[in-house]
């Protein structure tokens, strides 16, 4: 995908979302389209399912999952302790205190990454920094956490350890407890999960 087509994929959804939002909820953007494009291309907004699962299981109080799907989809299935802020309501002042803050680590998610990415782009253009996107959304979550595919018994230890970590996370979150394949145990520690640096509140002020 060329830079022009990537830029178009960003600007067109942003224009549609902004057009659907009441005028008095639209704020001045702090990033240009070019600056936002560079951040999107870097991919630093993504959090992997294993990273999010680890935070859920450990009951990390800094995690705030934000489901940007519509209310019907949210009612049918949602990740643990998630709140529902539909994409079309992202710029509503009602939700600003949730999205523009430095205490929680917000993770937007949708069925795939698309709508969550659009929510992230809007928040980022407004200068909000403590927001991320669940890589692949709930579809990839189901595939990698709730029902991961067992590797071949001849797979490298690293692949087997990764699978055992995913399976353990899925079982802890109510996923499939058994698989049709026997996967050998791996000695040694599991592959480390790269955790995001938690933001610290600045003391004092003027």
Q: What is the pLDDT of residues 140-197, one digit of tens each?
A: 998 888 877 787 877 787 777 777 777 777 776 666 544 444 444 444 444 444 455 5
Alpha-carbon distances of 39 from 67, 89, 196, rounded to whole Å = 22, 23, 17
What number of other Cβ atoms are within 10 A of residue 9's Cβ? 16
- HSE, side-chain direction, 13 A CA sphere, residue 47: 27
How confident is the model at residue 196, as a pLDDT? 53
The two structure tokens encoding residue 194: 């790269």
Q: How far apart are CA 117 and CA 133, in angstroms?
A: 6
Tell me the domains of the chain and their CATH numbers: 3-140 (3.40.250.10)
Residue 77 in this model has a pLDDT that exceeds 50: yes
Judged against a pLDDT cut of 60, whether residue 81 lies above it is answered with yes
Q: What's the rounded Cα separation, in Å, for the pair 9 and 3?
A: 10
Displacement of CA 3 from its chain's centroid (Å): 24
The C-alpha R_g of the chain, in whole angstroms, comes to: 19
Q: What is the pTM of this model?
A: 0.69
């Amino acid at each position: 995908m060329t830079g022009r087509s990537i830029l178009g994929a960003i600007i067109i959804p942003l224009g549609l979302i902004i057009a659907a939002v009441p005028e008095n909820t639209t704020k001045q953007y702090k990033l240009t389209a070019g600056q936002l494009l560079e951040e999107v291309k870097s991919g630093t907004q993504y959090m992997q399912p294993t990273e999010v699962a680890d935070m859920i299981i450990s009951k990390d109080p800094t995690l705030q999952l934000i489901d940007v799907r519509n209310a019907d989809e949210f009612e049918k299935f949602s990740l643990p302790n998630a709140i529902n802020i539909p994409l079309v309501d992202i710029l509503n002042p009602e939700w600003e205190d949730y999205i523009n803050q430095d205490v929680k680590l917000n993770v937007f998610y949708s069925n795939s990454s698309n709508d969550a990415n659009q929510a992230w782009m809007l928040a980022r253009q407004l200068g909000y920094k403590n927001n991320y996107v669940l890589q692949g959304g709930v579809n990839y979550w189901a595939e990698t956490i709730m029902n991961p595919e067992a590797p071949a018994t001849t797979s490298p230890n690293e692949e087997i350890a990764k699978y055992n970590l995913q399976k353990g996370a899925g079982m802890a979150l109510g996923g499939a407890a058994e698989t049709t394949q026997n996967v050998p145990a791996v000695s040694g520690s599991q592959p480390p999960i790269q955790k995001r640096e938690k933001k610290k509140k600045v003391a004092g002020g003027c």
